[in-house]
């Protein structure tokens, strides 16, 4: 992660020979070389163009390259000889690169050598550097952890960056109630109890919890619902809960079920299954066939959990498997999670890295960032040997409180797991490249159909939602060459006072003015950086849901803000809201109607539907929040008596929201008409 090697670009013949041997030579990293250049590796095509690159950027002679060297030399004079982390910043105080070193002074001195052979991207970074900030650490291990944290937080342009770093779901068996609950959990692990994971997806967690309920009969209901029960719920009737709420099982019996579930999730699945099989045989021998059948069903549920896992290693109890594949200038890291000897799923990541990074370099930087906010397992298996595996293992061991082994296995079952992960990485990257190519063709076709100056790199789609003017919310979704960019989505709670209920023009005006005034205003000092520096912040195309009237209103807003370089389009629904018969409106042009099977029309429909989905979801969350704050008294015809009956029957307001009309009608004192009104109150049709 912090060592470079490069060749001296002296002649065209040397460059040609060097590129021919590039596959056999270890490529450079982002830090300057500490090795003999003659033994170092080749660069990509940028190296052959190095003089042109520096000429174009002015980074020759007394230009920015010399300025960058001077800035680094000033930092070298004050740099410590101890471990630490350094940050290179440009003229706008944006962090270009975060690195760590055992000896910061020595590392920065390598950057400051004028005339030393450097990779093209290193020279670009030096040319943009105007200042260097240094943080000293006690050990190199501490520096590694700090470096990973800063890269995730600051997203420097010249570092490998972990993207799409969503939180993983866990299974939680609570510890703050006499009858523990099993549930899916995301986020900070602050609630008392036992956490098991991570799982690769919410679907994997839900399937496992469903099977665990069948196997161990642990409740999944909330504490408030549990406390309000006077008779067992449906889950007890279908044998997915032991019914502790109404004492269908005593404390000792329920504690035994919880212990068995905890043992199973902790890796003692074989012992648990043996115990259940013995109980089944005992019940059968005592001619208690109904009890024996219950144990049989529980064993079948446990077998179902393990059969759904796919690969279940025999010799690996707890490990994460990482495999990386590179192709077409992209990298894919596939991660498999194995806990308690079971496969708990996998996930593909596509870290952002320049194409000159080797698999080992990308994987090493990826791992440090990946475990910045996750507990590491006992073993981490890799498809490639990384340079600082021992240092990373020590850092993760300190963080986890137990020994963490980082290794690239060469044979045996562990090697088979890595090979399987590598196959998945190759297939995932192939799908990613295919999707990217399809998206690029769609954007090119859209540019041709709409007569845009170039294929749009950023498309913003706006929509709003309300019910008779209440809980009005606007939303913006964003798409680009890689599809939907969800970390750029925004929602806008409409704040204008005196807004006429249902005035869509006024709502859209507020949303767009807030969005583009913020974009036009200079960033405040210390403001948070964009989540993806490579992705443009200005749209090439803005799409509005509506007809010519909405388009003209948006055009007036843009003219008032002085925006002339952004293309505008509105999409009017077809007759009877028929998909495929939409009309497209653009300023100073005739309306456009595309053929129903036109791929561009399908693409525009997807954009509009995604905006509609996002704004409806935002509206419902806002409305439900208001409903919870207001309670049931806002529903016409629902007085205190019916409110008490509903809460007594369902336990919580959330369960009332989920109930169907038929379920609501079963509550004593609630007529069919009242059930319909309650259901429509919680499930309105937004405008």
CB atoms within 10 A of CB 302: 20
Task: Sheet containing 379-382: give its strands across.
Answer: 342-349, 330-339, 319-327, 379-382, 405-407
pLDDT at position 323: 94
- Structural domains of the chain, with CATH: 12-139 (3.40.1440.10), 170-307 (no CATH), 319-431 (3.30.420.340), 459-622 (3.30.420.340), 631-682 (1.10.150.20)
Residues of the chain with pLDDT under 70: 1-63, 115-116, 163-166, 267-270, 301-314, 466-471, 496-503, 522-534, 574-580, 619-637, 651-654, 684-687
Whole-angstrom distance, CA of residue 253 vs CA of residue 548 = 68
Collect all residues with Cβ–Cβ distance below 8 Å to 326 and sequence separation of at least 6: 332, 359, 362, 429
The rounded distance, in Å, linking the Cα atoms of 411 and 322 is 16
Cβ–Cβ < 8 Å for 44, 356: yes
Position 408 scores a pLDDT of 92
What does the alpha-carbon distance between residue 678 and residue 577 come to, in Å, rounded to a whole number? 28
Sign of CA dihedral 671, 676, 680, 683: positive
Q: Half-sphere exposure (CA, 13 Å, Cβ side) for 592?
A: 19
Distance CA 600, CA 543 (A): 14
Task: Give the span between the Cα atoms of 440 and 446, in whole angstroms.
Answer: 10
Written as six digits, the tokens of 633 are 């008294």
Triad 406, 371, 139: Cα angle to 5° = 75
Distance CA 359, CA 488 (A): 29
51-100 confidence digits (pLDDT tens): 554 444 444 443 478 888 888 888 888 888 888 999 999 888 888 889 88
d(CA 462, CA 464): 7
**Tokens 């912040």 identify what position?**
537
Q: In what order do the strands lie in the sheet with 193-196?
A: 182-185, 170-174, 193-196
| Predicted local confidence at residue 172, as pLDDT | 92
Enter the tokens of residue 625: 């929040």
Task: Tell me, yes or no, if the pTM score tops 0.85.
Answer: no
């Amino acid at each position: 992660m912090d060592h470079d090697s490069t060749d001296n670009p002296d002649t065209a013949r040397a460059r040609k020979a060097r590129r021919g041997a590039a596959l056999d030579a270890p490529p450079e990293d982002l830090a300057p070389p500490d090795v003999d250049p003659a033994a170092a590796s080749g660069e990509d095509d940028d190296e052959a163009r190095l003089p042109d690159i520096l000429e174009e950027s002015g980074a020759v002679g007394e230009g920015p390259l010399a300025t960058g060297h001077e800035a680094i030399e000033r930092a070298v004079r004050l740099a410590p000889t101890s471990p630490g982390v350094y940050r290179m910043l440009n003229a706008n105080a944006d962090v270009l690169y975060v690195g760590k070193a055992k000896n910061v002074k020595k590392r920065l001195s390598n950057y400051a050598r004028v005339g030393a052979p450097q990779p093209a991207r290193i020279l670009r970074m030096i040319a943009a550097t105007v200042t260097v900030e240094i943080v000293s650490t006690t050990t190199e291990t501490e520096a590694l952890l700090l470096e990973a944290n800063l890269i995730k937080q600051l997203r420097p342009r010249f570092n490998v960056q972990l993207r799409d770093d969503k939180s993983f779901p866990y299974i939680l068996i609570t510890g703050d109630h006499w009858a523990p609950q099993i549930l899916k959990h995301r986020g900070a692990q602050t609630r008392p109890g036992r956490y098991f994971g991570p799982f690769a997806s919410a679907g994997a967690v839900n399937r496992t919890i469903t099977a665990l309920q069948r196997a161990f009969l642990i409740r999944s209901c909330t504490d408030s619902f549990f406390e309000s029960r006077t008779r067992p719920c449906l889950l007890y009737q279908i044998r997915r809960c032991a019914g502790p709420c109404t004492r269908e099982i005593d404390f000792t019996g329920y504690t035994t079920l919880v212990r068995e579930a905890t043992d199973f999730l902790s890796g003692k699945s074989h012992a648990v299954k043996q115990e259940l099989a013995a109980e089944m045989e005992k019940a059968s021998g005592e001619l208690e066939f109904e009890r024996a059948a219950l144990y049989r069903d529980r064993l079948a549920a446990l077998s179902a959990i393990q059969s759904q896992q796919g690969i279940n290693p025999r010799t690996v109890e707890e490990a994460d498997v990482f495999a990386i594949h590179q192709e077409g200038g992209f990298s894919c890291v596939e991660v498999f999670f194995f806990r308690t000897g079971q496969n708990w799923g996998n996930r593909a990541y596509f870290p952002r890295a320049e194409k000159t990074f080797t698999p080992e370099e990308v994987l090493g930087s990826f791992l440090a960032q990946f475990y910045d906010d996750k507990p590491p397992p006992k073993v981490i298996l890799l498809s490639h040997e990384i340079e600082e595996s021992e240092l990373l293992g020590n850092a993760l061991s300190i963080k986890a409180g137990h020994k963490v082994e980082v290794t690239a296995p060469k044979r045996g079952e562990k090697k088979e797991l890595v090979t399987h992960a590598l196959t998945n990485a190759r297939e995932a990257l192939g799908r990613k490249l295919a999707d990217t190519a399809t998206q690029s063709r769609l954007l090119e076709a859209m540019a041709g159909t709409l007569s845009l100056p170039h294929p749009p790199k950023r498309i913003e789609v706006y929509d709003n939602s309300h019910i008779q003017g209440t809980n009005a919310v606007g939303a913006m979704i964003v798409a680009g060459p890689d599809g939907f960019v969800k970390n750029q989505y925004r929602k806008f709670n409409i704040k204008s006072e005196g807004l006429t209920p249902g005035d869509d023009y006024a709502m859209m005006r507020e949303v767009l003015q807030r969005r583009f005034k913020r974009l036009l205003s200079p960033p405040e000092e210390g403001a948070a950086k964009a989540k993806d520096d490579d992705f443009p912040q200005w749209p090439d195309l803005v799409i509005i849901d509506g007809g010519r009237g909405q388009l003209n209103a948006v055009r007036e807003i843009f003219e008032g803000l002085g925006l002339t370089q952004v293309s505008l389009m509105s999409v009017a629904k077809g007759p009877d809201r028929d998909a495929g018969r939409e009309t497209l409106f653009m300023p100073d042009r005739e309306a456009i109607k595309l053929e129903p099977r036109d791929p561009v029309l399908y693409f525009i429909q997807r954009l509009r539907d995604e905006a509609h989905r996002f704004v409806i979801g935002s509206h419902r969350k806002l409305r439900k929040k208001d409903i919870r704050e207001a309670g049931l008294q806002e529903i016409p015809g629902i007085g205190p008596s019916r409110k008490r009956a509903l809460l007594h029957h369902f336990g919580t307001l959330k369960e009332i929201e989920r109930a169907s009309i038929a379920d609501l009608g079963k509550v004593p004192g609630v007529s069919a008409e009242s059930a319909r009104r309650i259901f429509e109150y919680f499930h309105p049709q937004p405008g």
